[in-house]
Amino acid sequence: MEAVASPCVSRCRLDPGTGRCVGCLRTADEIAAWGSLDAAGQRAVWSALARRRGESGAGLPPGLRFIERDWLSANQILGIEGNEAIVVDTGYVKHAAQTVELVRAALIDSAGDLLGDAPAVRLAGIVNTHLHSDHCGGNAALARAFDCPITIPAASAADVAAWDRVALTHATTGQRCERFSHSATLAPGDRLRLGGLDWQVLAAPGHDPKSLVFHCEREALLISADALWEQGFGVLFPELDGEPGFAGQQAALELISALPVQRVLPGHGRAFDDVQGALARAFARLDAMRSDPRRHARHALKVLVKFLLLDLERVEVDRMRETLRGASVMQRTAALIGMDFAAALAWATGELVEQGQLRRDGNWLLDA
Ligand SMILES: [Zn+2]
């Protein structure tokens, strides 16, 4: 029997309000007891954590489970029908073992069976909204752990088959992902069966021209990936590559506005019901970016540097540029801002330190 992965994600700070660690959501007691628990006890903690991460998804139809992660790892949505489940998106590779435990816990919970470690509901498939590293980084680990096939956006099929790390944006952003293979694809216009419900597969360009979102008309639910969050949306990567992205994001937001949606299950952050409010904020942010593309580029560079530090946790300032040698998207973003790469990195890290997102310790830059 393999060891149970620790829930710790190296963001160890107790939130006095909830009494839980902000990173792993364990209580101080659960953290203290972890090392002395047997595998069954540790899995019981994982079960509690999967439920805590699903709190904003309370009241979803019975076949759906929402698992809220963080910025480094995208959220999971589990759809259960009979004794089979499908998971949408799998987080970042660094958290792959934790994603496996969260999905396993949700499968066991769904079966109403808290005993034993053979889930009565089996994971029958993985579906990705898009293939940014924070959405497909657990694909390989989950496929191994649960022996299940992977379905990806059809537009990314050739990139995955060739494992083209540039086209997949993993290399161009300094991000990591374990290689996986797919066995099926989804395209706009397709139907997806998830959690006993029918979902329409729709294109949501802007953040990623190949991204899909899933809409369930009957329940007025939207799985929005990074096209719409409660506060904004993901960086518009095409714009950083010299391709139009603002128009794609406008189209994605207009598409969502025209759909019956009462609840959004986003790629990052909690599930939310104030869809009109989120759309209004997203349209306003998009207008501001479009009227000043440098503003978007500055925002994007800060997002990418923060993401890098969430992954690496610490990096020597002098070696950061070397680490990012192949990160052409970040280099082009610096050019859009009107700085050379070294100056742009210094500017972005300075801003992030000032905002408390990063810490400087001598020659080291650390995640905060
Ligand atoms: Zn993304």
pLDDT in tens, 242-258: 888 999 999 999 999 99
Query: Would you say 54 and 62 are in contact if contact means Cβ atoms under 8 Å apart?
Result: no
Centroid of ligand 1 to alpha carbon of 132 (angstroms) = 5
How far, in Å, CA of 54 to CA of 51, rounded? 5
Q: Cα–Cα distances in Å, from 85 out to 124, 172, 192? A: 5, 33, 13
Residues bordering ligand 1, an ion, CB closer than 5 Å: 132, 226, 234
Q: What is the mean pLDDT of residues 180-190?
A: 98
Residue 356 confidence (pLDDT) above 70: yes
Residue 270 confidence (pLDDT) above 60: yes
Residue 113 confidence (pLDDT) above 60: no
pLDDT bin (cut points 50, 70, 90) of residue 2 is low
Q: What is the mean pLDDT of residues 144-155?
A: 98
Query: What is the structure's pLDDT at 36?
Result: 96
Centroid of ligand 1 to alpha carbon of 208 (angstroms) = 7
pLDDT over 70 percentage in the chain: 97
Centroid of ligand 1 to alpha carbon of 130 (angstroms) = 7
Residue 318 confidence (pLDDT) above 90: no
How far, in Å, CA of 203 to CA of 88, rounded? 16
Centroid of ligand 1 to alpha carbon of 71 (angstroms) = 10
Centroid of ligand 1 to alpha carbon of 41 (angstroms) = 35
How far, in Å, CA of 342 to CA of 305, rounded? 13
* Residue-wise pLDDT tens digits, 21-52: 999 999 999 999 999 999 999 999 999 999 99
| Burial (CB count within 10 angstroms: exposed 0-12, middle 13-18, buried 19+), residue 361 | exposed
Centroid of ligand 1 to alpha carbon of 25 (angstroms) = 24
Enumerate the β-bridge partners of residue 358.
Answer: 367
Query: What is the structure's pLDDT at 175?
Result: 94
pLDDT over 90 percentage in the chain: 90
Centroid of ligand 1 to alpha carbon of 288 (angstroms) = 21
Query: Would you say 197 and 186 are in contact if contact means Cβ atoms under 8 Å apart?
Result: no
Query: What is the structure's pLDDT at 242?
Result: 87
* Residue-wise pLDDT tens digits, 229-245: 999 999 999 999 888 89
Residue 323 confidence (pLDDT) above 90: no
Centroid of ligand 1 to alpha carbon of 135 (angstroms) = 7
Centroid of ligand 1 to alpha carbon of 210 (angstroms) = 10
What is the total residue count of the chain?
368
Query: What is the structure's pLDDT at 152?
Result: 98
Centroid of ligand 1 to alpha carbon of 209 (angstroms) = 10
Residue 17 confidence (pLDDT) above 90: yes
Q: What is the mean pLDDT of the chain?
A: 94
Query: What is the structure's pLDDT at 116?
Result: 54
Centroid of ligand 1 to alpha carbon of 55 (angstroms) = 23
Enumerate the β-bridge partners of residue 86.
Answer: 79, 125
Centroid of ligand 1 to alpha carbon of 48 (angstroms) = 28
pLDDT bin (cut points 50, 70, 90) of residue 114 is very low
